[in-house]
Chain A
């Protein structure tokens, strides 16, 4: 098995840009050192995934990210038999691979996955730190470096998709929000190369859309959307057009809301 070689590809080479908001880096490191899994909470596009990438780089660990979706089964995580050249051969799934190599396994939007997946992560997430592989009869013991991180957006998911207490109480939770305005402007400027003045305007625009959350908008513009808009602007798209394409149209289809959001953008640029 060439898992180790394979995992080299999951190492993060350059430092991913991440601007800390509080003590979240120290918190994560402490949890990791004590072999406690981590739950990242927060709205979409506020930097959860980037945070994990940054930590994988800091801790020099390979990072296996799985974006969960509603067809993701336990077998997709753990692994399955494949027929190769007339023989059946076991192939590890992303979770088993990360356990074997002692890396970070990051399950993004965990509540989107099918329910049987949470059962798989339970023994990994408490002090057993083991992954039983039913089909091969193997019991994988996680090395100390292994880290399980999951993310979850408490904002818009339905009650049913709420994370069960039996699951969430195994984790240390770190809450993410949109960064404070000046920090967010810095992030937008760094990520996109946009000048500081326009980045600040974009952040202000995002604040306006966040004011509309709950009165017609499901979610305000995330930092990620701002970076998109900023990149378009750097590429020469006029600010209003960039705001329209990257922010307004992305947030809503409702014509009144769309026009209002566009007007908000236009009032700034």
Chain B
């Protein structure tokens, strides 16, 4: 199409907004440079838009050539649709502004593909950081986008879209997290001794001495990053290369300056410490040199937060260390309570020695002899030594078997779980279990009191009705499960085995006499049934299961029992609920020893919703039960409708982490945990608790009875 034809077409559509000073000539010239197809596209949309508003149509056609060049046809279509949406919603002025702003639209579009969200990479980064070693660090979103650490949590921005390649954005996440890790690992916040000043005090002093506090902190951070980057170069060259890949010529200018270079070289030495960084800051600040640009992967420093967290941690770890040393000493001296041992204890001394042979190795000595530390003590000790270069001798004085160290921070759980009513062992028939506190990264000892009682039976026709209701399904289940059945048996006429099969041998000999070939299948072999498994079903009867869910759970149990009776798998069923850690209840519906009889059916029928869902303690209890059963494979199946939740703060991360820990313990004891849930949001937390392949979400409550037996069959075949 030639410009004249285009202009004519535009005149037709845009007539209302054209005048002698604003003709269609300029846009027509722009369009003429495009390909025929693009011109067609532009004219088509000009016509369409002009039906809504001619000025919008004019704005469109004026920007269309640039949009087509930047976004392509499909991108341009989205761009104009969005502008129309804005016009519809907000009016002409914002609408035409949206046409003009092609660049930011293009950038956003690109970002959708290349931005990396913290939520996508958090799990990987957490494991990565834990693998790098040192103290365990959590990762959390920094709402304000400022990457920093308080020495216990790494705060990272919610998303990174700095580069237009996804891979580079991810790399920036990784290196940013690694640098924050390095601050805690390579001593940015470390002090010589407990009474030495914190970093925040050093910075404040420097600020008073030489100038602006904020600028001092900025310079210090920059220099410290240089020091830490050199640590990476020595220890983790792969990460160092990743860091280098961001760097451009920006850092080059001041490096040419001799003074600057002098300090940089000092900071990059293997023995450089935080004192060198402070010295360099003090010397360089007054010189008024231009500073190089900040490193991309360098976060911000928050020494005040680090001080608060570190003080609290050091206190609690000191108490913990002394308690553990007390235990260690008691163990070293044999039985506690021995009169002589107490006298001796006062003379025995722990002593800390740096073990130069090993990387960061520390050796604890008792009266000059090396002691091998249990993992918990080693972790506490190495965490303390990350905060303090040296521990005062009296910190190594063992404490008696004292109280559990106080929580570091007044968090909701600690406040609501009043220690006043802490369960005293041996009150009644309660069994006490530890509970995992993820904030302390240790167990609360004997925290939960659990009582086991038989479930309340309700003798009615519920079981019969259920079997009747699902009659076709029951038949189906029976048939499928029959196929899985297996017995111990003696296999005859085998080609190899434990003993000789005399019948087969006689036949074979007779055959040989008769001149035919003698078979070699003359042995007997014991075939042991492969299905040697025990399973416990742990049924959630918390308040939230009221109504349909409870009905579906009971029906599922009936169908399941019908199926399991065919297989002769060993199984037990327990329902659980409770309120607070002092009243965790577990109801035995069917123990391993009990048969599936009238009474069991009555107990299933009688299950009713109770209170809350404290899962960890129940898992621990049932794992112990399972451990006592003899079977090759042991399975713990949870039937649940939601997250762990209890009245006294057992919710959110606390509940999930304790449950996860209990499941890890179970796995460690050789039990396979599995979860069947009807919580459709379970994808958010179950993979973390049970692992990716160990749960099933049944999305409709009514389907639960149909599914449970089938899930079990697939799980065990």
Residues of chain A having any CB pair with chain B under 8 Å: 70-71, 73, 75, 80-81, 83, 86, 88, 156-161, 180-182, 204, 207-209, 211-212, 214-216, 218, 240, 254-257, 259-261, 263-269
Task: Find residues 272-293 in chain B having any chain A CB closer than 8 Å to their own CB.
Answer: none
Do residues B518 and A260 form an inter-chain contact, with CB atoms below 8 A? Answer: no
A-B CB contact pairs (8 Å), 22 listed: A71-B528, A73-B526, A75-B499, A80-B499, A83-B500, A86-B509, A86-B512, A88-B500, A157-B670, A158-B627, A158-B669, A158-B670, A159-B670, A181-B358, A212-B127, A215-B127, A260-B123, A260-B124, A263-B124, A264-B128, A267-B239, A269-B237
Residue A86 contacts which of B125, B130, B131, B518 (CB distance < 8 angstroms)?
B518
Q: Interface residue count for B (Cβ, 8 Å)?
A: 44
Do residues A160 and B630 form an inter-chain contact, with CB atoms below 8 A? Answer: yes
Task: Find residues 216-252 in chain B having any chain A CB closer than 8 Å to their own CB.
Answer: 236-239, 242
B119-136 toward A: CB 8 Å interface, digit per residue (1/0)?
Answer: 000011111101111000
Q: Give A264 to B131 CA distance when docked, in angstroms.
A: 7
Of listed B130, B131, B691, residue having the most chain A CB within 10 A = B131
B89 adjacent to chain A (CB < 8 Å) = no
Do residues A267 and B130 form an inter-chain contact, with CB atoms below 8 A? Answer: no
Do residues A83 and B131 form an inter-chain contact, with CB atoms below 8 A? Answer: no
Q: For A212, list chain B residues within 8 Å (CB).
A: 127, 130-131
Q: For B174, list chain A residues within 8 Å (CB).
A: 263
Do residues A182 and B357 form an inter-chain contact, with CB atoms below 8 A? Answer: yes
Do residues A266 and B691 form an inter-chain contact, with CB atoms below 8 A? Answer: no
Q: Give A218 to B667 CA distance when docked, in angstroms.
A: 9
Q: Give A263 to B520 CA distance when docked, in angstroms.
A: 56
Q: For A207, list chain B residues within 8 Å (CB).
A: 133
Given A157-B670, A160-B670, decide whether A80 and B131 contact each other with a Cβ distance below 8 A: no
Of listed A182, A264, A267, residue having the most chain B CB within 10 A = A267
Task: Find residues 103-124 in chain B having any chain A CB closer than 8 Å to their own CB.
Answer: 123-124
Q: Give A215 to B336 CA distance when docked, in angstroms.
A: 33
- Chain B, Cβ-Cβ closest to A205: B131
Q: For B358, list chain A residues within 8 Å (CB).
A: 180-182
B359 adjacent to chain A (CB < 8 Å) = yes
Q: Give A214 to B130 CA distance when docked, in angstroms.
A: 11
Q: For A209, list chain B residues within 8 Å (CB).
A: 131
Given A70-B632, A80-B498, A83-B522, decide whether A161 and B238 contact each other with a Cβ distance below 8 A: no
Top 3 nearest A-B pairs by Cβ distance?
Answer: A158-B670, A260-B127, A208-B131
Q: How far is the CB of A212 from chain B (nearest CB, A)?
A: 5
Q: For A215, list chain B residues within 8 Å (CB).
A: 127, 130
Q: How far is the CB of A165 from chain B (nearest CB, A)?
A: 17
Q: Give A267 to B182 CA distance when docked, in angstroms.
A: 13
Do residues B668 and A256 form an inter-chain contact, with CB atoms below 8 A? Answer: no
Q: For A214, list chain B residues within 8 Å (CB).
A: 664
Do residues A160 and B128 form an inter-chain contact, with CB atoms below 8 A? Answer: no
Q: Give A259 to B242 CA distance when docked, in angstroms.
A: 16
Q: Give A261 to B128 CA distance when docked, in angstroms.
A: 7
Do residues B692 and A268 form an inter-chain contact, with CB atoms below 8 A? Answer: no
Residue A211 contacts which of B130, B357, B500, B692 (CB distance < 8 angstroms)?
B130
Residues of chain B having any CB pair with chain A under 8 Å: 123-128, 130-133, 174, 178, 236-239, 242, 357-359, 498-500, 505, 509, 512, 518, 520, 522, 526, 528, 627, 630-632, 634, 664, 667-671, 691-692
Do residues A83 and B634 form an inter-chain contact, with CB atoms below 8 A? Answer: no
- Chain A, Cβ-Cβ closest to B633: A158
Q: Give A10 to B253 CA distance when docked, in angstroms.
A: 70
Q: Give A269 to B518 CA distance when docked, in angstroms.
A: 63
Q: For A73, list chain B residues within 8 Å (CB).
A: 498, 526
Q: For B131, list chain A residues within 8 Å (CB).
A: 208-209, 211-212, 260-261, 264
Do residues A263 and B128 form an inter-chain contact, with CB atoms below 8 A? Answer: yes
Q: For A260, list chain B residues within 8 Å (CB).
A: 123-128, 131
Do residues A208 and B132 form an inter-chain contact, with CB atoms below 8 A? Answer: yes
Do residues A81 and B500 form an inter-chain contact, with CB atoms below 8 A? Answer: yes
Given A70-B632, A269-B238, decide whether A83 and B627 contact each other with a Cβ distance below 8 A: no
Q: Give A82 to B574 CA distance when docked, in angstroms.
A: 51
Q: How far is the CB of A216 from chain B (nearest CB, A)?
A: 6
- Chain B, Cβ-Cβ closest to A203: B359
Residue B627 contacts which of A157, A160, A240, A266 (CB distance < 8 angstroms)?
A160
Q: How far is the CB of B316 from chain A (nearest CB, A)?
A: 21
Q: For A255, list chain B residues within 8 Å (CB).
A: 692
Q: Give A61 to B127 CA distance when docked, in angstroms.
A: 46
Q: For A86, list chain B residues within 8 Å (CB).
A: 509, 512, 518
Q: Give A257 to B123 CA distance when docked, in angstroms.
A: 8
Residue B236 contacts which of A157, A254, A256, A267 (CB distance < 8 angstroms)?
A267
Q: For B239, list chain A residues within 8 Å (CB).
A: 266-267
Given A180-B358, A208-B133, decide whether A83 and B505 contact each other with a Cβ distance below 8 A: yes
Q: How far is the CB of A225 from chain B (nearest CB, A)?
A: 15
Q: Give A191 to B111 CA distance when docked, in angstroms.
A: 49
Q: For B123, list chain A residues within 8 Å (CB).
A: 256, 260
Q: For B630, list chain A residues within 8 Å (CB).
A: 160
* Known contacts A265-B238, A268-B236, then 5 further A-B pairs from the complex at CB < 8 Å, ordered by chain A residue: A75-B499, A158-B671, A207-B133, A264-B132, A269-B237
Q: Give A208 to B520 CA distance when docked, in angstroms.
A: 54
Q: How far is the CB of B436 from chain A (nearest CB, A)?
A: 12
Q: For B178, list chain A residues within 8 Å (CB).
A: 267
Q: For A181, list chain B residues within 8 Å (CB).
A: 358-359
Q: For A208, list chain B residues within 8 Å (CB).
A: 131-133
Do residues A268 and B130 form an inter-chain contact, with CB atoms below 8 A? Answer: no
- Chain A, Cβ-Cβ closest to B505: A83
Q: How far is the CB of B434 from chain A (nearest CB, A)?
A: 16
